[in-house]
Structure 1
Amino acid sequence: MLKKIDSNKMGSSNLGWLRSKFHFSFAGYYNPDNIQFGVLRVINDDLVEAQTGFDTHPHRDMEIISYVVNGELTHGDSMNNKNTITRGQVQYMSAGTGVYHSEYNLGEDTLRFLQIWIFPEENGLTPNYGDYRFNWEDRKNNWLHMVSGLNGNAPIKIHQDANIYSLELEQGKEISFPVREGRQAYLVQIEGTSAMNGIELNDRDGMEIVEEDILIKAVETSHILILEMKKQ
């Protein structure tokens, strides 16, 4: 089963300093038919103006992944972590029993990043933070496995049976991705245009995939993220 999610029909918000597309219900956008997809609760496609950001605020019992598309993202938290990541790099925070954090764009250009929330396998975990500076070239015409469950083999491990991959597929090239029986996946067309089993996706579109392998063809050079998980 494939279901295209048109970015023009997503929830959105414009606070001036922050412009967002919401793949699922969030903040002022509420759709009872679009709360989550399996264990995936949030994908916000955020544009943050220079020298602004999210002031310190709390989270708990959520696995939070940030993927930078363009610009600089500077993280600080109550565990005394402070780091800046850039294009194609990832930070991860297990909020667990509770943590305070801030996210700022201290750079000169607009920051674009994907804010991803995944439900953990259990609540009450010890809070944790990490980041990883992936080599951009490792995702060129190849699935870069960035995030996995604790028993997986990705550099970043979360408390859930879920995997996150990124890809830059050059114009005219094709690549497949298997979504096996009992599994589902959510795809984000971050940049460019591609066809998924013949269905065209443009930048910022999404797609739900359930128990169906896909063949991706890049109509234009495409930057893609896939979140694969157990079917629910």
Structure 2
Amino acid sequence: MNKLYKDSSHGKNDFGWLKPRYHFSFANYYNKTKMNVGTLRVLNDDLISPNTGFEEHPHNDMEIITYVIDGVLTHKDSMGNEREVKSGSFQYMSAGTGIKHSEFNKNEKELRVMQLWIYPDKVGYTPNYGDYDLDKESQKNKFVKIVSSPNNDGLIKINQDANIFVGEFDADKKIELLIKNYDNFYLVMIDGNAMINNFELKTRDALETNENIEIVTIKKSHFLIVQTNNI
């Protein structure tokens, strides 16, 4: 099974300061056929204008991962963390029993972030925060496993058996990822152009599959891939 989602199919909004793309039903976007892929519940691709952002707001019982694609994200939370998360870096919050945080773009350049929410394997965890500065050279022409369960080898550990990979590949590269012991892949073309399982994807397109992934890049391409199990 392969399902191609062109950028035009994503939920979109324009709040002036915020221009989000919703891969799954979220906020004012509802599509009963796009609620989640396995334990991946939310994937938002957000553009945040300079000197704006999200005021303090609460979360609970969700594993929240943010990938800063371009710009600098300023984070502050109720656990006392205050961080600047720069382009190429990842931020992780286990919301657990409850956390409040704010997210701002305090710079003069537009900020692009991708935020993912993954259901935890149980409720009631103690809230936790961390971030990881990924050297872009480390993902050149290969996938890096950024996120995994504590029993796996991801750079960031979350309270769920799910993996998140990122990679940037030059044109004319061939790559394969095996589904192995998981039910689904959800792949996002952050930027670029490639053939994936015989479907052509361009910037901001996505592919859901329960098969191995075969990629042939047409142009330089930047990918994010989430590997999950069904709920």
Tell me the TM-score range normalised by the shorter chain. Answer: over 0.9
Deviations 1:117-155 (A, max 9, x none): 000000011000000001100111111111101111112
- How far apart are the structure 2 equivalents of 1:200 and 1:181? 26
Is this contact kept in 1: 2:182–2:227, CA < 8 A?
A: no
CA contact (8 A) 1:61 1:120 kept: yes
2:70 & 2:97 partners in 1: Cα distance?
A: 31
Q: Report the number of matched residues.
A: 231
Q: Tell me what 2:216 maps to.
A: 217
Distance in 2 (CA, whole Å) between partners of 1:215 and 1:32 is 29
Partner of 1:141: 141
1:196-215 Cα shifts (integer Å, max 9, x gaps)? 022100101111011x1111
TM-score, normalising length from structure 1? 0.97
Cα offset for 1:163?
A: 0.5
- Alpha-carbon deviations, 1:146-173, whole Å to 9, x = none? 1101111112000000000001010111
1:80 match: 80
Instruction: Find the counterpart in structure 2 of residue 196 from structure 1.
Output: 196
CA distance in 1, matches of 2:223, 2:33: 25
Q: Equivalent residue for 1:3?
A: 3
Gaps of at least 5 residues in structure 2 are: none
Percent of aligned pairs with the same residue? Answer: 46
Amino acid across the alignment from 1:227: V
> Do residues 207 (structure 1) and 204 (structure 2) align?
no
Aligned partners of 1:179 and 1:209 also within 8 Å: no
1:45 equivalenced with 2:45 (yes/no) = yes
Give deviations 1:19-39, integer Å, cap 9, x for gaps: 011000001001122111100
Within a 5 Å distance, the mapping from 1:86-165 to structure 2 comes to 86-165=86-165
Within 5 Å, which residues of 2 pair with 1:5-44?
5-44=5-44
Instruction: Give, in angstroms, the shift of residue 18 of structure 1.
Output: 0.1
Contact map agreement 2:174 2:216 (CA 8 A) in 1: yes
Report the AA paired with residue 104 of structure 1: F
Query: For residues 170 and 24 of structure 2, what CA distance do their matches in structure 1 show?
Result: 29
Q: Aligned equivalents of 1:174 and 1:127: distance in 2?
A: 40
Equivalent residue, structure 2, for 1:55? 55
Is the partner of 1:14 in helix, strand or coil? Answer: coil
User: Residue 57 of structure 1: SS of its match in structure 2?
Assistant: strand
Name 2:65's counterpart in structure 1.
65
Instruction: Give the drift of 1:231.
Output: 3.5
Which amino acid letter does the alignment assign opposite residue 197 of structure 1? Answer: N
Segments ≥4 residues shifted beyond 6 Å: none
TM-superposed CA distance for 1:182, in Å, is 4.4
Alignment-derived partner of residue 229 in structure 1 = 228
Mean alpha-carbon deviation: is it higher for 159-168 or for 169-178? Answer: 169-178
User: More deviation in 14-23 or 172-181?
Assistant: 172-181
TM-score normalised over the length of structure 2: 0.98
Distance 1:148 1:225 in 2: 14
